[in-house]
Amino acid sequence: MSRIFFAAAAATAALASPAFTQEAGFGPLLTPAELMQVQQTVDPLVIDIRSDAYAEGHIPGATSAPYDLFRGPADNPGQVPTEEQLTQVLQNIGVEADRPVVVVHQGTDVTDFGAAARVYWTLKSSGVSELAILNGGMTAWNEAGLEQSIEATKAPESSIEVTFSEEWLATAEDVQQILNAGDKALLLDARPESFWNGQEAHAAAARPGTLPQSEYFTHDGWFESGPVIVNAGSAQELAEAQGFTDEEQIISFCNTGHWAATNWFALSELAGIENVKLYPESMVGWSNAGYEMANVPGLFENLWNQVTGQN
């Protein structure tokens, strides 16, 4: 079963976030112009999650905080760092629980948005109360012709102590509970259909396939064209059209919790649907743990997929 995205459903969607006002609050999306306004009023901490590109040019005053700091090891990239590790990371980059934070990614394509969404999810779960993503990332900033700097900025170390919230977190045990007890929940695969149906797999996954009882809604369904995600109103309309509601728990997953973070962000932060959780380790963690899977190809089919380059 799948949730199929029809481009026509979002043909009239606005790509930029609604105009920022103090009454509307901070985030969850900011355009470059809105970020400039915010910098003059609430002095947010701007963190740039790119790696080498930071040194080549970044938003003036932005602090370097590469995406890998918020991820697990190569054999399980979706793993959430420990509370101790996150505390050290957030203290080093100057994150305070009560200071607004803006997450800046490159904005190369729709896949790139997942990095910003994953960092946003991690910070929210770590207790940061006000968060926003620069919609379109540095690509949008550059296209707007705004100033860049090559001068590295380091925010003062903070004293934050992370207690990681489970409000937006789903674990393998949670998924197993749903499968074993038949709890009402939607296990939503953010990957393309070729991953969901077992034709492709992540290099670190033990085998191709998906979670039992899952459906898929590809992460790029929240974008009309280019790397700018739809605004809140359009996300609400899209979610309603796809039947995503508050009536059931939604657990978003993918290969390593990257694409799934986009689905979580769109459903939770833009569409305003409650009880949406992210399963961060996703299919890499699940398959390597040897749990039951669906859409696993047979031996010969799997070999054929590898020979033909589909896996």
**104: CATH:** 3.40.250.10
Contact 45, 132 (CB under 8 A): no
The answer to whether residues 128 and 210 belong to one domain is no
pLDDT value of position 160? 98
Domain membership of residue 7 (yes or no) is: no
Do 92 and 29 share a structural domain?
A: yes
pLDDT of residue 240: 97
Both 98 and 182 in one domain: the answer is no
Cβ(113)–Cβ(105) below 8 Å: yes
Reported confidence tier of residue 181, pLDDT bands at 50, 70, 90? confident
Instruction: Answer whether residue 163 is part of any domain.
Output: no
Q: Is residue 6 part of a domain?
A: no
3-state per-residue secondary structure call for 222-244: HECCCCCECCHHHHHHHHHHHCC
Q: Which of 126, 143, 160 is the last residue of a domain?
A: 143
Q: Please tell me what DSSP assigns to residue 68.
A: G
Residue 153 lies in a domain: no
- From first CA to last CA, the distance across the chain in angstroms is 21
Q: Is residue 166 domain-resident?
A: no
Residues whose CB is less than 8 angstroms from the CB of residue 176 and which lie 6 or more positions away in sequence, other chains included: 291
Specify whether 301 is located in the same domain as 195.
yes
Q: For residue 9, is it within any domain?
A: no
- For 284, residues 6+ apart whose C-beta sits below 8 A from its C-beta are 76, 77, 78, 202, 204, 205, 255, 256
Distance CA(80)–CA(258), nearest Å, equals 12
Domain boundary among 124, 143, 162: 143
271-311: pLDDT as tens digits: 999 999 999 999 999 999 999 999 999 754 554 455 445 54
How many percent of the chain have pLDDT more than 70?
Answer: 88
Separation CA 61–CA 10 (nearest Å): 36
Q: Which two tokens stand for residue 262?
A: 């986009």
Residue holding tokens 């043909």?
11
Q: Average of pLDDT values for 140-169? A: 97
User: 302: Cβ–Cβ under 8 A, 6 or more apart, which residues?
Assistant: 207, 208, 311
Question: Of all helices (H) and strands (E), which one includes residue 301?
Answer: helix 299-307
* Pair 126, 218 in one domain: no
In 3D space, the residue among 153, 157, 164 whose CA is nearest the CA of residue 81 turns out to be 164
Residues 139 and 177 in one domain: no
Helix (H) or strand (E) holding 122: helix 110-125
pLDDT digits (tens, 9 = 90+) for 96-121: 999 999 999 999 999 999 999 999 99
Examine the domain organization and report whether 297 and 260 are in the same domain: yes
Total domain count for the chain? Answer: 2
E-state strands within 148-231: 185-189, 215-216
Rounded to whole angstroms, the Cα distance separating 201 from 207 reads 7
103 shares its domain with 26: yes
The residue behind tokens 């997450």 is 103
**Rounded distance, CA 57 to CA 208, Å?**
39
Residue 179: both structure tokens together: 């499968």
Residue 161 within any structural domain of the chain: no
- Say whether both 297 and 177 belong to one domain: yes
213-265 pLDDT, tens digit each: 999 999 999 998 899 999 999 999 999 999 999 999 999 999 999 999 999 99
Structure tokens at 162: 């992370």
Answer yes or no: do 138 and 251 share one domain. no
Check whether 11 has a pLDDT greater than 70: no
- The residue among 143, 159, 187 that closes a domain is 143
Residue 10 inside a domain? The answer is no
**Is the domain of 137 the same as that of 176?**
no
Same domain, 91 and 32: yes
In the chain, the amino acid numbered 13 is A
Is the separation of the CB atoms in 135 and 46 below 8 Å? no
| Structural domain boundaries, residue 255 | 172-307
